[in-house]
Structure 1
Amino acid sequence: MNHKIENVSRRQFLKVSGIGASSFVLASSLAGYKPVWAQTSQADVELNLFVSIQSDNRVNIICHRSEMGQGIRTSIPQVVAEELCADWDLVSVVQGLANKEYGSQNTDGSRSIRNFYTILRRMGASARTMLEQAAADLWKVDVNSVYAEDSYVHHKDSKRKVSFGYIAEAAGKLSPPKAETLTYKSKKDFKLIGKPVTGIDSAEIVTGQAEFGQDVRLESMVYASIERSKVLRATVKSFDADAAKSVKGVIDTIQMPDQPLPVMFHPMNGVAVIADSTWAALQGRKALNIDWELGENAAHTSADYIAELKSRIVSKGKPIRVEGDVYADIEQATDTHSATYSVPYLSQAPMEPPAATAVFKNGICEIWACTQSPQVTQQNVAQALGIESDKVIINVTFLGGAFGRKAKPDYSIEAALLAKQLNRPVKVVWSREDDIQQGFYHAVSVLHMAAAMDAKKQITSWLQRTAFPSIMWTFTGTVDEPQMNELSLGFGDLPFAVDNLSCETHKATGHIRIGWMRSVCNIQHSFAQGSFVDELASKAGISTYKMWHQLLGENRLVDPKTDDFDYQNYGEPQDVFPVDIKRIKHALDVVIAKSGADQPTQENEGWGICVHRSFVSYCAVATKVKVVDNKVTVLEMHSSIDAGTVVNPDRVRAQQEGSMIFGLSLALLGEISTKDGAVEQSNYHDYQVLRMHQCPKIETYIIESDAPPGGVGEPGTPPVAASVANAIFHACGKRIRDLPIKNYMSV
C-alpha cells in the first residue's frame, strides 16, 4: 500500500483524519476526562472526539484507540452511533492520528470503553440533538415534535422525514448543546449497545486488505534489520561492515547510537543493515560479526535470581497493608500452612513482531506503526530527533496482536533515526527472534503465602509476600521494589475477610527490560493466591468453592486503602467501581453452576477453580484436566465474567476466549530464561505458545449487569494458571507451585 508524506498543520487535521469533505463536523470538547498512565498520574486534559456526517448520509466516527484484535474500531462507533440514532450500515470508522486533543490514546489497561463510554454516549447524543434542532428549524416546528432514527429525523405529526446528510450543514452551524440538557436512550431501547455487532473491519481482515505494520510500503523505501545487543546495554566494540555489504541487496550499515540507562523506551544498542529487501537485510546481519562489550548485566542468570528471591521471600518483608496481628496468630496456631510460588520472565510474543516505517522530510517525520501508544510514540520520536512533537505524525496501522509489547515505541524510534540519517523512507522489521530476545518482559516473580487455621477449620490469618523487579526500574534504573500501582493489581487489594492480614513486599532490581504484559502483575498474584486457597481447602478437607466463600466472607464493599497502601483501583473512583464481594462470589457461583465443576469426575481427571477481580471486572475460571503417565491434557475451560455494561458481547466472548488461551499458554509453556545476561529462547519452538491440539473446549458466560463498563481484554487471564495447577492436583495429587507446568509434566 502506497503512502505519501505532507506537512500537516493543526488546521488540516480534520482533512488528514479523512473527514475533510464532510458537511458537518462535531468537535465535542468534553472536560473532566482524566487519562490513566500505568506508572504516573497525569493532570486533567481536555478530550476531543469527532463525528462527521457527509451529504450522502454517511456517518464518519473517529476511533482514537488502536485496533489489535479486541474490536475497539467497532465498539467505539457502536456507542456513538447508538445515541446518534445512526443507521449502522451507513457508519464508517476513521483511525485517528496521534493528537493530544484526544486525551490518552494508550490502548492498554482494558480501559478504552471503561474510560470513554459516557463521553462517547454524550458525543452521540450531542450530534443527534443538533440534527433534531436543524430539522425542527427546517420545518418550523417544535423540536420536541421530532426524533432521530436510522440516520433520519422524523416529524411525529406529519410523518415527514429528512436525512442526516441533508440537514448536516445546518446542524453544523448550531452551537453544541450543554451536557446537562442532553437526553439519553434507556437500556431497553438500545439497538447497538449490548448487541453482537459484526466487526466493522472483518471483511478487510479476512480478505487480506487490512494494513498491518508489516504491510506498509512507500515509494523508494529501503528495509532495515538491526543486530541488537543480547545483553542489556552491551555496546558495540567493532563490526565487519564490508562483509555485510558484500551480501547481495545490502546498501549500507549504520551503527545505532549508544543509549544510556535508565532503559526508558530507548532502542537497544546495535548495528542496522540497510537493504533493498527484508531477506537481504537479514542475511547481511549474519555477516556483521559484532564484537560486544557486554557490561555488568552479563552476570544475570534468571535461575540464580529466582533462587535468590526465594531465599529472601521467606523472611519478613515491608508491610503495605496490615490488619490484626498475623505473626502472633500464626505463632500460637496449632494448624498452619505455607507455600512459595514463582513465575518466570514472560514474553508477549504477538503473532506480528514490531514494525515501523518512517520518512523524514522538510523537518517533519511521518511514521506508520503497529503501535498501542501513538502519543507516546510521537513524544519519544520527537525527543530522539530533537524536534517538536507537532512535527511528528503517527499513523496507526492494525496490530497483529500486542499484549503490551507495542505500547513501547523503541522500534518507531529506530525507524525515525534511520530515516533521518538516510534521507529516504525506511522500514524497520523485527524478526521473531528479535522480538523474543530483545523485547520488554513480564517480570520474574516470587511469592510466599502462609495461613493459620483454627479448630473449626476457619482461616484466622493470611500472610502474603511478593517480590519482582518493578516496571518503574525501566524508567528510573534505581527503583528496587514494587510500586503502589503494581501492588494494586491483585495483591494489596486482597478481598478476604480474615481477622489477621499482612501484605508485604521484598526488594528486587531489574536486569533486563521490564514492561507491561496482558494483565500485568495480576498474573503472579492470582496464581499464588488461587493456588493457596486450593491448598488450604485440601488441608481443611472442604471444597475449594467453600473455601473461597469462607475467605470472601459476607457481601460488602472492601476498601483496601491504608496509610501505607495507596490503592490505585485501576485509576477508577472506588465509589463508582468498588471492590464488591457480592460480584466476586457471583462470578464464582456462575462458573461452578455452568461448568459442573462441583460434580464428580472420572479417574485421573480433576477440576480446578479460581476467581479474581482485575481491571474493575470480575472473572472466574474452571478448568478440567486429565493426567495419565505424567502427561496433562486440558479437557475443557469455562469462564464467567462480570464486566458491567457490555457494549459488544461478541467481542467480550472473543476476548475471554483469547485471554484463557493466553493464560493457558503461560501456565503450561511460558518461560523466558536468561543466562549470562542474554535470553536463551529465540522463537516459537523454544518459547512455545499453545498449539491447536493443546487447546481445550472453551465456554464463556457473560453476566448481565447494569454496572458501568469494566475492563474486558485482560481479566480472563489471571485466574487461568491457578485453575490449571489446582485441576492437576485434584487429578493426580501433584502440586505445582512454579510455572511453567511443562517443567514438571508433559503437556
Structure 2
Amino acid sequence: MIHEAKLMAELAASQNAAGPVRIDNVSRRGILGGMGALVLALSLSDRAKADEGQTEEQKAKKFGADGMPNGWSDDPKVFVAIAKDGTVTVTNHRSEMGQGVRTSIAFTVADELEADWSKVKVVQAWGEETHFGNQDTDGSRSLRHFFQHFRHAGAAARLMLIQAAAKQWGVPAGEVKAENHVLTHAKSGRTLGYGDVAEAAAALPVPARESVQLKKPEAFRYIGKGKIGLIDNHDITTGKAIYALDVKLDGMLYALVARPAVYGGKVVSFDDTEAKKVPGVVKIIKIEGGEIPSEFMPLGGIAVIAKNTWAAMKGREALKITWDDGPNASYDTTAFRKELEKAARAPGKVVRVAGDVDGAMKTAKAKFEAEYFVPHLAQAPMEPPAAVARIKDGACEIWACTQGPQAAHDRVVKRLNLPADKVRVNVTLLGGGFGRKSKPDYVVEAALCSQAMDGQPVKLVWTREDDIQHSYYHTISVERIEAGVDEKGMPVAWLHRSVAPTIGSIFAPDPKHELPFELGMGLVNNPLALKNLRFENPEASAHTRIGWFRSVSNIPHAFAIQSFVAELAHAAGRDPKDYLLELIGPARKIDPTEIGDVWNYGEDPKRYPVDTGRLRRVIETVADGAKWGRKLEKGRGLGIAGHYSFVTYTAVAAEVEVDDKGQVKVHAIDIAVDCGPQVNPERVRSQMEGAVVMGMGLALTSKITFKNGRAEQSNYDGYEVLRIDAAPKVVRVHLVPSNNYDSPLGGVGEPGVPPVAPAIANAVFAATGRRVRELPLRDQLST
C-alpha cells in the first residue's frame, strides 16, 4: 500500500508521461495533565521548518544523512510522558489492526528509556497530521520509518532524567545510571524513581539529537527479544478492547445504507413508505454519490437511520429503489478476462527494456510462453467498516476503525464543508484492515447521517454483504510471459506483459496503465540475471473500485514469475530451486532506479538496493527447512518460490497432497523472511504465519466475480477465506538474523503473502504433473 499523496503525484506524472491497558484518545493537554510530569515532545522537522532556507534541490531530497525521512509529511510528532507516580505514557500514532504496532512502538521507547514494562501504557493519537505526521498505516512502514526516532525519543527522555537526578544530588551526570525505572548514583548508593524527578526533568531543555547516546544492542531489554506479548492482549481476550462497533454514545442512532450494486450507479427514485413503517426507523435520507472516479467518497444511495441496527436493516430491506446502473452495468469478469488476454498478446507500453529481446528470441533454441490469471479479491476483514459520528457546536467528532485518520478527516471536512479544526477523527482498534480501511467512504457516510439528524450521534454499520459487494477490490490481472532459451534450457530472452486495471482509476478518469508503484511491485524490479529483458504494460480499463490489498500488485507478479520459472526448470530437466537460484544469479546489490523502478517503496535506493544475496539466502533457508529434494509418496509434492517486496525478502516452500478427487491439502509450509533488524521477532513470526494463511486463501479458495456489473459473492459462503481445517498442521517460520540495529529495517506486514500461491501451485505440479495457471486452484484439478 502507498501513501495517497505520493500516489496522486505518480498518477499525474504517469498521465503526463503485557497487562491491561486503556485504549484512550487523548489530547496533548490530556497528556500534560498533572503538572510536574516529564513530557518529551519528539518533533521531527515540521514540514514548513524543514523547508525554510533550503534550496529547491535540498527540498527535493527525501532523506537525511541518517537515511530517515527528511521534510516529509510523514514526520511524526510522538509524545513520551512520565507522571509523578512513574507511569510512562507512549502516544501511538499508527493504527493497531493486529500487527502489534502499539506494542512495538511502546517497547522501543521503553527500552531506550530503561523503563519497567509493567509501568508503561499506550494511548492512541487522534488523526491530526500537524501533530503526528503521516498516520497512514500502510506499506509495512510504521517501524521502518520511525524505529530510530522512537529510540531517540526514549534515549532523550532517559538523559533528561539522569540530568535531573544529577542536579538534585550535585554530582556529574556521567556518574548517574538509569536502569529499569531507577536512577542510581553508585558512589553514594542513592537512588530515585523516575517519577521522583519527573517535574525537575520537565524543566530541562530537550537534549540535541547528536548528544543523545543510544543503547548498544547487547543492552536491549525488549528490542529484538520477542518476550513481550501484545500490550492490548488482556483487553482483547477479556472483551474490553474498543473497536468501532463497540463505541456507544448517549442518544446514539444506527444507520445502514442501500448502495448501488454497480459501480457508478445512481438512485433514480425511491419509495420509503414501507420502510418508514418499520418500528424504530427514525429517518431516511439520500446520500449523493455515484461519481466516477469515486476517490474515497461514498458510492451514494439511501441511508436508513433507526434506533437500533435491526430496525435499520429491516427498514433498508423495505425500501423500493429504482437504480440507473450507469456505465459499468455490463461488467462481466469472464468476458473481461478475454479482453485482458487479448491485450496481453499484443505489444503494450514498454516500462523496462534491456538488450535485444526480439533478436534473442529469433536465435533461441526453444521458446516458451504462458499466461497467468488472478481474479478480483476482497480484503474482507473480520470487522466490517464502521464509524460513529457526532456533530456538536459546529464541530464533527468521529470514532472509526480506520487505517488513514488524516484521509478520513480531510474527506469529512470536504463533504461537510467544515473548517479543518472542526473535525476530529478518533482511531479505535481495527479488527483487520488489509488496505480496505485506508479508504474512509464509510466515515463520510456516518458524518452525513449525523448531519441529517442535526448532530445526533449516529453509528454507521456495514454488514458483511455490504463489505464484500461494495469493496475497493484487488485488481484483476493477466500476466503473459514469453521466454527464449538456449541449449541448456536457460533463458536468453524474457518478455513479460502485465495487464491490470490500476488503483489510479479511483482518482482519475480511466487511466489505462498501471502506476509506477504498481509496476515496481515485482515487475520492473525483477532481479533476474538476464541480458535481454522487456516488460510491457498494455491498456486495461477499470469497471469497479480498485484499491489497496495486502501486498497489492506483488501478488499477480510473483505468482506469474515464480510459476513460469518452475515451468522453465521442468522443461530443462532441472531442479526448480537450483534453476531459480541460477536465474537470480550471484549475490549483488542493484540500484532499483537502474532497472526501471523509480519508486522502490518510497525508499532511498542507495540505502535500500535490491540485494540478490538476501533473496538467495531466504530461498536456500526454506529449502533447508523443508528438506528439499527428499522423496515423497505418490500424490505429494514440494514447491518453492521467492520474492522481494516492501524492501524485504521472503521465500516459501510448500508441501502439498492432491487426492484422487483433485482436492489439495497443504501439509506444511516453510517461510523465511529477511527484513533486516527484527524489532519484535514474536510479531514478525505472527505476521508471517498470518501471511501464510491469507496467501493460502488466495491460492485455494478466494475470488470475486462480476456479472451484469454486480459482485456475485456476498458473504463468506461465496467468498471463501481459508477455513481452519484447511490450515497446514506445520508452519515453520525462519527469521534470518540481523543484529545491526543501525542498518535499515524492512517491512513485515505484507511481504509474506506473494510467494505463498506460486509455491503451492508449483507443489501441485510436482504432485500431479498438472500445471495450474490461474487462481484460485480449487476445483481446477477435479476435472
Where on the TM-score scale, by shorter chain, does this alignment land: which range? over 0.9
**Offset, 1:426:** 0.3
Tell me the equivalent position of 2:92: 63
Q: CA deviation at 1:259?
A: 4.4
The one-letter amino acid paired with 2:217 is K
User: Which one of 184, 202, 206 corresponds to residue 214 of structure 2?
Assistant: 184
Matched to 1:600, the amino acid is K
- C-alpha deviation, 1:231, in angstroms: 0.5
1:525 to 557, 576, 581: 557
SS at match of 1:718: coil
1:682 alignment partner, SS class? coil
Pairing partner for 2:462 from 411, 430, 433:
430
Q: 1:135 aligns with which of 148, 159, 165?
A: 165
Q: Compared with structure 1, are the counterparts of its residues 21 and 248 closer, same or farther at alpha carbon in structure 2 (3 Å cutoff)?
A: farther
Provide the residue aligned with 2:293 in structure 1: 262
Structure 1 contact 493–567 (Cα < 8 Å) conserved:
no
Match of 1:446 in 2: 478
**Aligned twin of 2:51:** none
Q: Which residue of 2 aligns with 1:656?
A: 688
| 2:114 match | 85
Three-state SS of the structure 2 residue aligned to 1:639 is: strand
2:428: which partner in 1? 397
> Which residue of 1 is the match for residue 652 of structure 2?
621
Q: TM-score, normalising length from structure 2?
A: 0.91
Instruction: Work out the CA distance in 2 between the residues paired with 1:732 and 1:139.
Output: 77
Pairing of 1:340-739 with structure 2 (within 5 A):
340-423=371-454, 424-562=456-594, 565-629=596-660, 630-696=662-728, 697-705=730-738, 706=740, 707-739=743-775
Deviations 1:177-235 (A, max 9, x none): 11111111111111100022111110000000000111111110000011100101211
Of 176, 195, 209, which residue of structure 1 is paired with 2:225?
Answer: 195
* TM-superposed deviation, 1:500: 0.7
Q: Identify the range of structure 1 (344-353 vs 567-576) with the bigger mean alpha-carbon deviation.
A: 567-576
> Are residues 1:277 and 2:291 paired?
no
Q: Is the CA contact 1:447–1:467 (under 8 Å) kept in the aligned structure 2?
A: yes
Shift in Å at residue 162 of structure 1?
Answer: 0.8
Shift of the 628–22 alpha-carbon distance from structure 1 to 2, 3 Å rule, reads: farther
Report the equivalent of 1:298.
Answer: 329
2:352 pairs with 1:321: yes
Conserved 8 A contact 1:18-1:94:
no
Counterpart residue identity of residue 728, structure 1:
V
Q: 1:82·1:190 contact (CA, 8 Å) conserved in 2? A: yes
Which deviations, in whole Å up to 9, do the C-alpha atoms of 1:12-71 show, x marking residues without a partner?
Answer: 9313468666711111112289999xxxx9955643110000100000001100000001
Of stretches 315-324 and 67-76 in structure 1, the one that deviates more from structure 2 is 315-324
**Greater displacement, 406-415 / 319-328:** 319-328
- Deviation at residue 420 of structure 1 after TM alignment: 1.1
Residue identity opposite 2:435 in structure 1: G
Residue 745 of structure 1 is matched in structure 2 by: 781
| 1:48 aligned residue | 77
- The residue that corresponds to 2:15 in the other structure is none
- Residue 58 of structure 2 is matched in structure 1 by none
Aligned to 1:310: 341
Q: 1:266 to 1:21 in 2, by over 3 A?
A: farther
- Render the CA deviation track for 1:255-308: whole Å, top value 9, x for unaligned: 112343221001111101111111111111111021101111102111111111
Amino acid at match of 1:607: L
Q: Distance in 2 between matches of 1:275 and 1:154?
A: 61
**Structure 1 residue 375: Cα displacement:** 0.9
8 A contact 2:263–2:290 mirrored in 1? no
In the alignment, structure 1 residue 161 sits paired with structure 2 residue 191: yes
Instruction: Flag the 1:18–1:288 CA change in 2: closer, same or farther, 3 A.
Output: farther
Moved more, 394-403 or 145-154: 145-154
Aligned length: 734
Contact 2:74 2:133 in 1 (8 A): yes
CA contact (8 A) 1:317 1:505 kept: yes
Secondary structure of 1:180's aligned partner = helix
Identify the match of residue 99 of structure 1 among 128, 139, 142.
Answer: 128
Cα offset for 1:559? Answer: 2.1
Instruction: Report the Cα distance in structure 2 between the residues aligned to 1:590 and 1:451, rounded to whole angstroms.
Output: 28
* Structure 2 CA distance for aligned equivalents of residues 421 and 622 of structure 1: 55
Provide, for residues 615-650 of structure 1, a one-character-per-residue CA deviation record: whole Å limited to 9, x for no partner.
111110011111112111111111010111111111
SS at match of 1:741: coil
Residue identity in the other structure for 2:673: I
Q: Secondary structure at the match of 1:239?
A: strand
Q: Return the alpha-carbon distance in structure 2 between the equivalents of residues 20 and 46 of structure 1.
A: 28
Corresponding position: 1:14 with 2:25: no
Q: Aligned pair 1:222/2:232, yes or no?
A: no
| Distance in 2 between residues matched to 1:490 and 1:179, nearest whole Å | 37
| C-alpha distance after superposition, 1:112-144 (max 9, x if no partner) | 000101111111111111111111111111111
Counterpart secondary structure, 1:476: coil
Contact 1:83 1:128 in 2 (8 A): yes
Partners in 1 of 2:781 and 2:160 — Cα distance? Answer: 64
Superposition deviation, residue 457 in structure 1: 2.5
User: Aligned with 2:350: secondary structure?
Assistant: strand
Shift in Å at residue 171 of structure 1?
0.7
Provide the rounded CA distance (Å) in 2 between the counterparts of 1:459 and 1:157.
Answer: 71
Determine helix, strand or coil for the equivalent of 2:643. strand
Which secondary structure state, in structure 1, belongs to the residue aligned with residue 556 of structure 2?
A: helix
1:290 aligns to what SS in structure 2?
strand
CA displacement, residues 585-611 of structure 1 (integer Å, 9 cap, x when unaligned) = 000111111121332211110011100
- Structure 1 counterpart of 2:358, one-letter code: Y
**Cα shift readout 1:434-456 (whole Å, capped 9, x = no counterpart):** 00001110010111111121112
Query: Once the 2 structures are TM-superposed, how far is the Cα of residue 245 of structure 1 from its aligned partner?
Result: 1.0
Scaled by the length of structure 1, the TM-score of the pair is 0.96
Quote the residue 1:146 is aligned against.
Answer: 176
